[in-house]
Structure 1
Amino acid sequence: MSSYRIDELSVDQLDRISLPKFQRGFVWTKKKQEDFVQTLHDGYPFGTLLVYPENDNDKDAKLQLLDGQQRLSTIKKYRQDPLQFWKPLNRESYTSVYQSVKKMLPEGDKFTEPIFDKLVNSNPNKVAYWAMDSLSSKEDVKAAMQSIDDLKQQIRSFVNLEHLKVPMIVYLGGSAHIADVFANLNKGGVPLTKYEVFGAAWVNAAIRLRGAEESPLQDQLLQYVKNYYLDMRKQAEFDVDDFSEDELTQNRTVTLPEFGTALGQYVVDHLSALVPETTSAAPEIGFGLLGVAMNLDNRKLSSLNKYIQKIRDELEDILQKTERICNNLQSMFETLLRRFKSTGNDYENGLSSTFKTLSYFAALWDLDPSSEEYTTALSNIKAAYVYDAITSAWSSHGDQRLMEYCNSSRDYGTRISEEQFDQAFDQWIADQTPGINFGKDIKCLITIIEKLYMSF
């Protein structure tokens, strides 16, 4: 028996669909959206939506969107403002009407396209008032109103929303398999990251934070979660299902994927010398850091939800260790990697990598911060940062190497000798191909050498 059925929705029924928390932000470019609207105009078939009914016994039940956000968002945007899509797709027709109306005006040079667009989107009464107020003759008033009305008709008929049917697959399997379904989507389009799949799998794994002002770190974490959804709401054409800023403030309960992403964003913000702010940085660092805290192989992060109770029990300890190590590493590396002149990112982190950075956390995680062992390891990390880069220590099997720092079979307790550095640099230089432009690794090395030279 199939675990799905084929169905369709009219445009008026799209409000039945809500966006689960694990869905992605809006990622289609403007060109991609315009191409999709052109597809609707041409009457060509387009991809289906994949939805999950909250109650399959209710034909009008809310539908959770599993796939198709980009198509659905574009349809809703077109429904709200068709002119923004019609205009670039029919530039010649638009310009012809705009110029003809503009020539009728005594001060046509002040009649800009934004003014004209606002007029086209106005109701007929406002257009009539504008025409009678702006044009001197009845013939011009009649001609302008007719031109604008014809243009509106062209726009309305470009995509027949009244008869548009949006195909969808309604998934009828158990909710426990949603992550498996989600992981197999969009393989031919914008690929899903494993962290987005985790978000689908762990959406019900809840972590209760302490009360307001009981833990400044947990308060910060909660704010990161809020900011994530507020930013997502700005990007997408949906309200994120089950998200209420006020409710989150009162309940102070977050899911495991929310916690992982928020933890990673904390590190991005507080360890900017090593972690560049990219779209993938927060989940990569956050989930990786939870793996470090749970002594879990990075290759097995999909089982992190099995450690949910341990994460709950050690929540404050995880945050305190993260804060301390972030501060220690940032204080050390900001003096080495800060650019002389900022060009967006304040640091030259061309030798950084996610696994290498996580290894610093893993090596320091269980050490007493007041111990000589901790101080020695922290000091040796500076040299290892460069040495590991020129020896390509993290270029392959980084997750396996990281696990060795987690289980203490590898650490930063031993200082790299000058002889080792000399040999590594000689080999690195011999492997370089001369060129005019400097790569990010060369720029980073130059920055470090400059800082060390200036410190003498």
Structure 2
Amino acid sequence: MAGCTPENWSLQDLSSALQDMHKDHKKIVVPMFQRGSGRWGKEQEKTFIDSLIKGYPVGTMLFYKTVEDNQETYILVDGLQRGNCIRKYMTNPTEFFYDSNISDEFCKNILTIVKSDNEEDYQTIRNLLTAFIKEQKTFKNLQYFNPAKEIAETFGAGYDCIGDLIIIITEFFEKRQDLYDRIASTIIPVIVYSGEEETLPEIFDRINSKGTPLDKYEIYAAAWPVNEKYTISNASIVEYVIAKYDAFTNDGYKIHGYNREDMRASKKVNAFEYLFGLSKYLVEKYEILGFNKNLSSDTVNPLAYELVNACLNDSDKIKTLYVRLRDIELDVLEVALCKAIEFVNNAISIVTKFKGNSRNANKIFHSKYQILSMISTTFKEMYVDGDFSAIAPTWNDKKNIIARNLVHFYVYDILTNYWSEGGTGKIHAAAKPNRYMNEISSRAWMVALDSFFEKSMLRAEKKNIANPKSEEFVFLNCIYLKTFTAMDQLSIEKFDVEHIAPKEQMRKLIDACDGEGLPISCIANLCYLPEYVNRSKGDKNFYQDKKYLLHVKLKDVETKYSFTEQEDMDWMDMPYEKNDFPVLKDYYTDYCTKRFEKIKHLFCESLGIEYEDIIDEEPKIVQKVVVPSNDKQQNKKAKFADKCIIRLAQELNTELIKVGRSTYISNDGNKGYVITTSKAYKQGNREKYWFAYRRNPLADLGNCKEKYVVYGCKDENTLICLPVDEIEKSIDRLNLSTDEDGEVTHWHMVFFKDNAGVVTWMMSKPEIEEISVAKYLV
């Protein structure tokens, strides 16, 4: 008949029995369902020993008494962490000595001997004595000459005081030894249970499921049948289980019912042990499952418990999962599981294995529950009716659809943070019906992408620049799928994530404007660059560093990596002043918005997503710009620069032929125009417009007899059509920007417009002067 008997054990006896050295030939062993021996942290152990020192109650231990080979053996059912901590203290009490154990009064007495009265030296005394005692294993029979000598030398007190120091230090540590002896003889109540051994797991479950910090998987270890064994083929799984128990035996414990060589030879494990080892096996074998790889050998990784439950059940039934495993051949299940994992891995590898940033080669972008959801739903489509030995006949019709949708959902869920909340419940919801059998609509993609961009634009960075997050890496990986060739993927080339508008230069611009910060790491400002290209450029953008341009083909960088043109970055060369932060922010936001629109198209093209504008799409400019009709609705849809050229064509009453990105010539070839635009910025009660005058675009105008730069100010209603000759005549009166070699990159063209509509052109040298441009207004 089952029953409980109280016994009194001293802490010394308890420690000895745990080490198989008890004077009455008693020994304590650990059951195979126990949790990891290292679960308590240093602070918990410190608190427990402090409770012993202060005489606080520390609870009871629960043993199950049996007799093995004529020796009384106690199975430790409850109290392993306390027992482990007691054993540590009894074998090495100095490990639990801290400088806080040394009182101010003791330090004061030491300082009196060395003739010092500085209270700041208290900590020096504590540090010296704590360091000394930590090197010992006991407080008993120690020699204190060396620490006394070190204290005397530290305070320059000479050697005459060493004898007095030895006396006071010896007295102090003898009191610690007396304290140790008192604790060693302290009695801790023990309850000894007698009854059927098979009931122990249930008892352990009931004790540890009532508010103690055991995790649920350790409770399952106790609640699941311990002696119900399965023979498996995977030797690696067996070794992980052996490593779990060896962690106990290496700490000096005996594991009840455990024989390493028998387990290795028979490959027999129970359900809990199998899933314990399977978790360790899967996280090492598959990078996409590499969660919590650095857990200690005796700590449960829940991955396989959750994955197998998701594959076999329609809801969270991990507590009784072992019942489902009884009727399944585990080797067959394992093979089927690996096939599902490998299918998902192959489907999403175009994103996860993409050769992007070299320093994130092994980075996992997804959450654990996201990938478990994808694997478990795939598993259920591959195998039906509990037959895991053969692929379902419907699989061939579904696998291509699922493979395409898996990569889409993989990216979509990461960009939208779908798995940031919820866990196993979401896994099962995704399978009823299979979420990954449905295509994501183009409209949903557009909303997700725009939300992703808007979220990244909410940052205000200045000193601390955010590192790219998983969603940024995933997005970048996708947009380069079409531009990175197979050779790029196979080459030894390394890549960096680069800020197109470089971080250091952006910091300087923000400082110059006295601004609070901008979203410098916005997704629209990021790109991949070959490492040698990126590092040679330094903190300049692609168009500012002439030396850099000697080593790379700018066109290749623009078309393959940055997806920018020089005019996109003109705003970085403006002469920003203290109150110009709104101008900088406006320009930067405009640049990010335009570039994101480009890379959004690339993203959709790479993944085969139908691009859909949330608003009416703006028409593309054709090669010829003909004098348009007065169709206001059609003109309303055009972009700012396009509206300017349309109005110019109207006013000139002629066709204009596009010959470059922003250059046009008249139909007869006699006149050429460079079109550039600026938003309006308030300066006092006037509007200010800023432009960069560059000579490079003039090359597109060839042999035109007359060449003009047309400045669009805020909208197409204010056009300044300046002859190039007039600009060149005044070139020495304009502020300019140069590169590091002193070569001019561009000149600053600044115009003002007052409330009366008067437009002036500002000359900066030799002194500021404004010149009317009324005769050049279109």
Q: Normalised by the shorter chain, which TM-score bucket?
A: 0.7 to 0.9
The partner residue of 2:440 within 413, 416, 419 is 416
TM-score normalised by structure 1 residue count: 0.75
Question: What does 1:160-309 align with in structure 2 at a 5 Å threshold?
Answer: 160-172=182-194, 174-186=196-208, 190-201=212-223, 202-210=225-233, 218-231=234-247, 238-277=253-292, 283-292=301-310, 295-309=312-326
Alpha-carbon distance in 2 for matches of 1:44, 1:427: 57
Partner of 1:70: 81
Report the AA paired with residue 196 of structure 1: E
Q: 1:20 to 1:418 in 2, by over 3 A?
A: same
Partner of 1:214: none
Q: CA deviation at 1:451?
A: 0.7
Alpha-carbon distance in 2 for matches of 1:378, 1:239: 50
Indicate the larger mover: 72-81 or 345-354: 345-354
Question: What does 1:336-375 align with in structure 2 at a 5 Å threshold?
Answer: 336-337=351-352, 340=357, 342=359, 346-350=363-367, 352-353=369-370, 355-363=372-380, 365-366=382-383, 367=391, 371=396, 373-375=398-400
- Structure 1 or 2: larger helix share? 1
Q: CA deviation at 1:83?
A: 0.8
Q: CA deviation at 1:143?
A: 6.4
Partner of 1:447: 473
SS in 2 for 1:66: strand
Question: What does 1:307-346 align with in structure 2 at a 5 Å threshold?
Answer: 307-311=324-328, 314-333=329-348, 335-337=350-352, 340=357, 342=359, 346=363
Question: Does the alignment pair 1:29 with 2:41?
Answer: yes
Q: CA deviation at 1:260?
A: 0.7
Q: CA deviation at 1:315?
A: 2.0
Contact 1:82 1:155 in 2 (8 A): no
Partner of 1:61: 72
Map Cα deviations across residues 135-192 of structure 1 (whole Å, 9 max, x no partner).
9x99989767756654542222223244211222334454444444333435676522
Gaps of 5+ in 1: 104-110, 211-217
Question: Does the alignment pair 1:87 with 2:98?
Answer: yes
Report the AA paired with residue 45 of structure 1: P
Map Cα deviations across residues 237-264 of structure 1 (whole Å, 9 max, x no partner).
6344433433322232212111011112
Report the AA paired with residue 412 of structure 1: Y
Report the AA paired with residue 135 of structure 2: K
Report the AA paired with residue 444 of structure 1: S
Partner of 1:19: 30
Q: CA deviation at 1:120?
A: 6.7
Q: 1:53 to 1:348 in 2, by over 3 A?
A: same
Alpha-carbon distance in 2 for matches of 1:30, 1:393: 34
Alpha-carbon distance in 2 for matches of 1:31, 1:221: 33
RMSD: 4.8
Q: 1:177 to 1:355 in 2, by over 3 A?
A: farther
Q: CA deviation at 1:265?
A: 1.8
Alpha-carbon distance in 1 for matches of 2:198, 2:347: 45
Map Cα deviations across residues 98-145 of structure 1 (whole Å, 9 max, x no partner).
x89xx9xxxxxxx99656543574974x849989xx99x999897677
Amino-acid identity (%): 19
Report the AA paired with residue 251 of structure 1: S
Report the AA paired with residue 20 of structure 1: P
Question: What does 1:147-158 align with in structure 2 at a 5 Å threshold?
Answer: 149-158=170-179
Q: CA deviation at 1:385?
A: 2.5
Contact 1:351 1:385 in 2 (8 A): no
Report the AA paired with residue 304 of structure 1: L
Q: 1:95 to 1:232 in 2, by over 3 A?
A: farther
Partner of 1:107: none
Report the AA paired with residue 305 of structure 1: Y
Alpha-carbon distance in 2 for matches of 1:421, 1:253: 50
Partner of 1:213: none
Partner of 2:9: 9
Q: 1:401 to 1:79 in 2, by over 3 A?
A: closer
Q: CA deviation at 1:80?
A: 0.6
Alpha-carbon distance in 1 for matches of 2:130, 2:419: 57
Alpha-carbon distance in 2 for matches of 1:324, 1:426: 36
Report the AA paired with residue 374 of structure 1: K
Alpha-carbon distance in 2 for matches of 1:375, 1:381: 10
SS in 1 for 2:327: helix
Higher relative contact order (CA 8 A, sep 6+): 1
Q: CA deviation at 1:73?
A: 0.9
Gaps of 5+ in 2: 18-26, 115-127, 153-157, 384-390, 483-778
Q: 1:431 to 1:340 in 2, by over 3 A?
A: closer
SS in 1 for 2:98: helix
Contact 2:144 2:169 in 1 (8 A): no
